[in-house]
Structure 1
């Protein structure tokens, strides 16, 4: 019996034959296994080299992937940081409120004894507000002006040789201090609020008329009437017909939607930060805010106390024009300001003010530096241009008087006025053309009777043109 085994390894054929049976067959198998082991052992270096190469390549690829992942992580972090920075910038920007305005006026007078000045003035402001979260809000207002304007020339000095200015004023927008050029930080305050705005404080340098004696028709010399009497009450010793900015505090309360209460305390001397509690000026106001069939209104009632030192009329000698004794008296007053819409396009308004009839004014070098008249009143109205297809235009009309009183007329006589008048009357009309969302042009006319409280003074007409650029 012949046993044969064939084995093919690669290109090599192995044939085993055995005629002796099983023992020899076993030897052949063992030899075959031994041969296979030897062959595998001889192939190990090549296989190991291939595996090492593959491992090295795989390791390099992993390192490249890790590098790319790291680069992408760095880029992602940079993107996130940029987004956070942009978010903070956006948040800060959203907390800011910015505003700016530029107002120019040109006025020319007529019927002034043959001498008719024409003058211009320029004013502007930049305001910045910033929300500080739960702590409230910060606000600052920078304002400046150039030009004295017509008002300082509106007196009767040419005819009488004396200086009695227009009592009602013709341009509230010019510098109240009479400077030809000025700029100032007029307001700077902190405004915390509580109970969803029902309780508000303002602390810092404030405008006393910002929250008191307001009016929807007669309150803004840059967009409404120019004359002082149609901007705020002028029978108020603290103002003397002009705005004064002073350090102080205001408390605003809104217990209901139809009632607003304002309490204010200021340093009466104006922009003086020394001895803040000397000579205070206090104001209280109640504002009833009815809504009659969707037509809004404001009915303001207010009183004030001026702690500055004043002279009484009983101390004034009209013959010599001097004041005897110490000027130690305080001053008090009362006022109301009313505006009411009577239709969607028409709003009516009125204002009245009075002060202590026995107070003459403040004293400088033994003489009256500023003389007070006891009363002032004004009425007016505005009509929007919606009825003639110009809904952003406004027509305004107003008339008012500064009432002199007996003591003030005696003062005028001491200053050389032969025939003092019981009042100075003032009429004003303007039309605001809205040329764009930010620009308006307003022709203006004013007519003043009994200029300076002089019954013999000619009636003066003032033609004006105002431009208002606002952002």
Structure 2
């Protein structure tokens, strides 16, 4: 552009210094010189334009090469994962969840409970192996190792409520790196039937919920992760489970799991590896998963029977612990999902007779934050003991999950418990948490 301006200035200067009152006889040579000069200017302009276009084309090519190079250069970890998966059929994922949770001191059952606050972390490494053999073509081996420490508000309050406040810390009793799950699952008849055997927990197979089932990314309070009464029977141990899907929207699941007799007296409890299927936990679930207006829903009805003798605080019991429950979730719009649970359990075996929870999941409610999620929930646990422990313990919880990157998110969370242990003379309990998520 600078060259073009200089040409125009030079032309203007030449014309300016040309005599304007030349004789008629000298006009013809002057016109020829002007025409020649104009032609020369046009040639120079054409060359300048060609040079500019060449520069633009070269710049575009360089930018395209840079983008292609960026796409080709993947993170080293991603390359390793893809190479291992391709060559060995092995997938691995990891996740670390640091948190800080605190709760002020309260009075419960005339006992002073000190302020319960502290940091903690939960970390998992998951491996899925799909052998490249015909016999295991439709099967997979799954393993999950876990380590964690810190209980947050549950340090002092976890055993003084019908339902605890920090499900993240359930498997973090010590700092030992433990193999929580190791099982094999095989599909039959094009995925219409599934058989699983190995070590895992019953809640892998029943009482699931799309919007209230994951303490890492959703609610952390027990009443919004699973049915708390059923959860009291949930343990990692030997299990056999099978499911069949006769219709696209209908699935039936049954399981039999070893038990330590967690709700029996201390003298009656055993190792989960002893007498594996003597007096086990048995359970079944029927799940209906229709779509209404293109929106997915899931409606589950389940029942369980823990066959060992139970012992509860409101009296000795020699009966098995059994219960029934419902877990429902329904996507209403692209932004709104609703969930609810309802459960009844044998009041002679458990401290809670009735349990219910309702809530909503709201996604992308803030402009330019389409991946963020807000969860709100309300739950009640009706005590089965005598007055004053026969009232309802109410739980309220809200969290906001802020997705900062594909593998990184943080979530502030608040909880409030009214009428702890179903007794309105007890102080209300408040707990706040800040939770992080790192995954690969």
TM-score, normalising length: structure 1: 0.68
Contact residue 168 and residue 401 of structure 1 kept, 8 A? no
User: How far does the alpha carbon of each residue in 1:417-442 deviate from its partner, in whole angstroms, 9 at most, with x for none?
Assistant: xx435011100000000010001100
Q: Does 1:388 align with 2:367?
A: yes
SS at 2:103 equivalent: strand
Q: Does 1:442 align with 2:411?
A: yes
Q: Does 1:151 align with 2:173?
A: no
Partner of residue 326, structure 2: 336
What's the CA shift for 1:180?
Answer: 4.1
Change in Cα spacing, 1:100 to 1:243, as seen in structure 2 (3 Å) is: farther
What's the CA shift for 1:359?
Answer: 2.4
What's the CA shift for 1:111?
Answer: 6.0
Q: Distance in 2 between matches of 1:397 and 1:90?
A: 40
What's the CA shift for 1:387?
Answer: 5.4
Q: Does 1:139 align with 2:142?
A: yes
Partner of residue 168, structure 2: 173
What's the CA shift for 1:453?
Answer: 2.9
CA RMSD of aligned residues (A): 2.4
Contact residue 116 and residue 154 of structure 2 kept, 8 A? no
Contact residue 291 and residue 297 of structure 2 kept, 8 A? yes
Q: Please show how residues 213-232 of structure 1 align to structure 2 within 5 Å.
A: 213-232=207-226
Q: Distance in 2 between matches of 1:460 and 1:273?
A: 38
Change in Cα spacing, 1:400 to 1:340, as seen in structure 2 (3 Å) is: same
**Consecutive unaligned residues in structure 1, runs of 5 or more:** 1-88, 156-163, 361-371, 411-418
Q: Distance in 2 between matches of 1:193 and 1:288?
A: 20
Q: Does 1:104 align with 2:103?
A: no
Q: Distance in 1 between matches of 2:185 and 2:357?
A: 32
Change in Cα spacing, 1:354 to 1:233, as seen in structure 2 (3 Å) is: same
Q: Does 1:258 align with 2:249?
A: yes
Q: Distance in 2 between matches of 1:354 and 1:394?
A: 30
Q: Distance in 2 between matches of 1:426 and 1:349?
A: 15
Contact residue 235 and residue 375 of structure 1 kept, 8 A? no
Partner of residue 459, structure 1: 428
User: How far does the alpha carbon of each residue in 1:368-424 deviate from its partner, in whole angstroms, 9 at most, with x for none?
Assistant: xxxx3112110011010165221111000001011103xx135xxxxxxxx435011
**Consecutive unaligned residues in structure 2, runs of 5 or more:** 1-82, 262-270
Q: Distance in 2 between matches of 1:196 and 1:140?
A: 24
Contact residue 319 and residue 348 of structure 2 kept, 8 A? no
Q: Please show how residues 307-386 of structure 1 align to structure 2 within 5 Å.
A: 307-311=307-311, 323=316, 328-360=318-350, 372-385=351-364
Q: Does 1:196 align with 2:190?
A: yes
Q: Distance in 1 between matches of 2:323 and 2:234?
A: 17
Q: Distance in 1 between matches of 2:259 and 2:234?
A: 12
Q: Distance in 2 between matches of 1:359 and 1:235?
A: 10
Partner of residue 280, structure 1: 280
Q: Distance in 1 between matches of 2:338 and 2:122?
A: 28
Q: Distance in 2 between matches of 1:232 and 1:131?
A: 30
- How many pairs does the alignment contain? 342
Contact residue 102 and residue 152 of structure 2 kept, 8 A? no
Change in Cα spacing, 1:230 to 1:90, as seen in structure 2 (3 Å) is: closer
Contact residue 116 and residue 152 of structure 2 kept, 8 A? no
One of 373, 397, 409 as aligned partner of 2:386: 409
User: How far does the alpha carbon of each residue in 1:44-89 deviate from its partner, in whole angstroms, 9 at most, with x for none?
Assistant: xxxxxxxxxxxxxxxxxxxxxxxxxxxxxxxxxxxxxxxxxxxxx7
User: How far does the alpha carbon of each residue in 1:86-132 deviate from its partner, in whole angstroms, 9 at most, with x for none?
Assistant: xxx76754621111110111112136259433212210100100112
Change in Cα spacing, 1:93 to 1:173, as seen in structure 2 (3 Å) is: farther
Partner of residue 398, structure 1: 377
Change in Cα spacing, 1:119 to 1:409, as seen in structure 2 (3 Å) is: farther
What's the CA shift for 1:208?
Answer: 0.8
SS at 1:174 equivalent: helix
